[in-house]
Amino acid sequence: MSALAVSIRIAVDCMGGDHGIPVTVPSALSFLARTSDASLLLVGRGAEIERALPGALKGVDVVHADEVVEMHDPPATALRSKRASSMRLAINLIKEGRADVVVSAGNTGALMAISRFVLKTLDGIDRPAIAGPIPNQLGRVTTMLDLGANVDCTPEHLLQFAILGSALVAAVEEKEHPTVGLLNIGEELIKGNDIVKQAAELLRQSPLNFQGNVEGNDIYKATTDVVVCDGFVGNVALKTSEGVAQMLGGFLREEFKRDAVSRLMAVAAYPVLNRFRRRVDPRRYNGASLLGLRGLVLKSHGSADAVAFECAMQRGYEEARHRLIERTVAAMQPFVAQLEQLHGARPEATEQGA
């Protein structure tokens, strides 16, 4: 590749997550090795990062950060008292135009708070949301949001999430009119709460490809490309899913270890079981997007290993390569009237105030 080719510059918060540098740096280098049009800004304790590098590498710069946001730091503390943290400096690189996307396995609350403070939200977006790829039975992913950033949402917030999720799928999966579902509960019961009912009304009035209510199992049935819900419900659904998958995986392992004959069967069926395991490997679905910001921020699971972290980097790279921010801004144009009407006379300046 020529040096003039447009390169996707990825800022990596090397200190984030349960493992930090021993995972993030090798993972980032592995990603770089197979991605010709990417470059890395490795942010964190410079000396430690340098030691983890095999020497000076083309396309790799180290940005020193004195401080580290810990997993247990309250978001407000991380925001106010750790202005020299690797997380903060990595996000600053986006703001300064030196990076196209930041990837961090750090504290979600802090990442959201700092991103929002430094980058600000897009016009028309009140609150950023966390969107994650959920594996579905078609072997693809359903994009679900919010996964935990916003616990009390208005109908208008849910509409905004739908716009953001739809723009993400349109850009990265190159689908022209992604289908959108609103997470609700069963037909036979009282159909959802008032906020969800009102959100459905807003979605019906919007230019989105809204398919109506979906239920929890529809996420996995791939009924719609995007599933919208508030962050409390989304986070519970996500964690519940993890719990079920872990339990079932554990039961399957136990049955194949129960006795000598079963263990023999496990050896014999290894290729099949291994295909199954690879297919449902949660590491492949690592990487949630903080949407609605004026910059691309990818959140990796805190416990991610190098394989999982690399998936999050890949996702961030794809968003940057597909110019997600510009496309989201463009995608929001048809909603301007609807959002402005909902916002009432609120001056735009307030929203973007420093």
* Positions that interact with a copy of itself (CB under 8 A): 71-72, 75, 107-110, 135-137, 148-149, 151-152, 183, 185-190, 192-194, 196, 215-221, 229, 231-233, 235-248, 250-252, 255-256, 258, 261-262, 265-266, 268-269, 271-273, 275-276, 279-280, 302
Q: How far is the CB of 99 from a copy of itself (least distance, A)?
A: 24
Q: Compute the CA torsion angle 55, 57, 63, 66 (nearest 10 deg).
A: -20
Q: How far is the CB of 162 from a copy of itself (least distance, A)?
A: 17
Tell me whether residue 207 or residue 250 sits nearer to a copy of itself (CB atom): 250
Tell me whether residue 47 or residue 138 sits nearer to a copy of itself (CB atom): 138
Tell me whether residue 234 or residue 325 sits nearer to a copy of itself (CB atom): 234
Q: How far is the CB of 65 from a copy of itself (least distance, A)?
A: 20
The dihedral of CA 162, 163, 169, 170: what is its sign?
Answer: positive
Q: Where are the alpha helices (DSSP H) in the chain?
A: 21-33, 46-52, 75-81, 86-95, 108-119, 155-172, 194-205, 218-221, 231-256, 260-268, 270-279, 306-321, 324-332, 336-343, 348-352
Tell me whether residue 189 or residue 337 sits nearer to a copy of itself (CB atom): 189
Residues 112 and 129: beta-carbon distance below 8 Å: no
What is the spatial distance between Cα 327 and Cα 168, in angstroms, rounded to a whole number? Answer: 8
The partner residues of 62 in beta bridges, in order of sequence, read 42
Tell me whether residue 174 or residue 187 sits nearer to a copy of itself (CB atom): 187
Q: How far is the CB of 287 from a copy of itself (least distance, A)?
A: 16
Q: How far is the CB of 153 from a copy of itself (least distance, A)?
A: 10
